Structure 1
Amino acid sequence: MSKQQWAIIWFGRGGQGAVTASNIVAKAAFLDGFRFVQSFPFFGPERRGAPVKAYTRIGAEPINDFTSIHSSDIFVIFDQKLLYEVDLNQELNEGGFLIVNAPGIKIEERSKNRINIFIIDANAIAFELDLKVAGLPVVNTCMLGAFSKATGLVKLETILKVVKESWSGEFLNKNLRAVELAYEKCKVI
């Protein structure tokens, strides 16, 4: 991909790991040769389950915009229900990538823009690997694998390297496997 700068919105619920995913992609993008990166969160009421957005910008040129991203090139949705809280015509650019944690969706009527749509059943992978907090699936590493597969922007190997730096022990192995499974199972619709 030859684009000079990429704007990414991560939209999840508190506890799903959207902020961590944003940070990991920023680090991985830097390691993969993007010289300029930003990663920052936006929180509403701070409680588990409340909507959370995180933003990532990566580029080959200096990034001079330090505001929230309102129109993205890539939009990653951690909870299928949050899809209906988004105006894809405003928040995702023509030709952009939409990556949704869902076993299947009908999205055509949600966007007038031509977009690339990818789905991954991250909840199923998280439950299979016992990646849960208080009984709820933590899907951030699944979404990282899907992100790598869908966009090709950051190499799978680099995502795995940064994940190795972020976790240890049993959680490390589960999260590495989650990235790999999601990469394998992510599909375009």
Structure 2
Amino acid sequence: MTGIRFHGRGGQGAVVASKILAKAYFSEGLYVQAFPSFGMERKGAAVAAFVRLDVDPIRERGEIRNPSAVIVLDPTLLQMVDVTRGLAPGGLIVLNYPDRNDPPPVDATFRVACVDAGRIAVQYGLGSRMSPIVNTVILGAFAKVAENLEIEHLVDAVKLGVPVKPAANANAALAASDAVRWVSGECNAA
């Protein structure tokens, strides 16, 4: 069984992203679950969402404590939340991180890929400069580096799963798949 954990802030679309990702994997013939973890948080508070996938029916319930991959929608969460909690060495982290010379503050024992999702979201009219909506963008980057998800299935799931601007969201995901860059632990397939 594979577990994927999302870290984001309320209003960024982490829950929607988890549902879209689950739909994309379902299109690949896998059994899936997608669910959030939050309480009374307001917009801007740290939230988590999860996706489970397997070739067999999934009976397990509850939070994913040892994910295979972590997707971080907001880089400021790196100072607030241990996004690597439960992730084994060599685990995948896909991070929304601006194109800068300084590397993200993540341990090099993990495979870390970054994309400037905010810039791409603004370029495609997703949200505003002050509050870009990066959820579908980061999914495009994830599809590129995850090695087990066809980008076409993700694009179809994005078009079906977003409430507005389906074409812009799909194009932004494709742009992110081309813009993602490895920071540490690059895979041969990327």
Q: TM-score under structure 1 normalisation?
A: 0.87
CA distance in 1, matches of 2:12, 2:163: 19
- Give 1:168 shift: 6.8
- Alignment gaps of 5+ in structure 2: 184-190
More strand by share: 1
Q: In the alignment, is residue 111 of structure 1 matched against residue 103 of structure 2?
A: no
Aligned match of 1:150: 145
- C-alpha RMSD of matched pairs (Å): 2.0
The residue type equivalent to 1:115 in the other structure is F
Aligned match of 1:49: 44
More helix by share: 1
Equivalent position SS for 2:159: helix
More divergent stretch after superposition (56-65 vs 127-136): 127-136
Change beyond 3 A, Cα 1:135–1:115: closer
Q: How many residues align?
A: 181
Aligned match of 2:187: none
Q: TM-score under structure 2 normalisation?
A: 0.87
Aligned match of 1:25: 21
Aligned match of 2:170: 176
Whether the 8 Å contact between 1:88 and 1:110 is mirrored in structure 2 is no
Aligned match of 2:80: 85
- Alignment gaps of 5+ in structure 1: none
Whether the 8 Å contact between 2:122 and 2:129 is mirrored in structure 1 is no
- Give 1:150 shift: 1.2
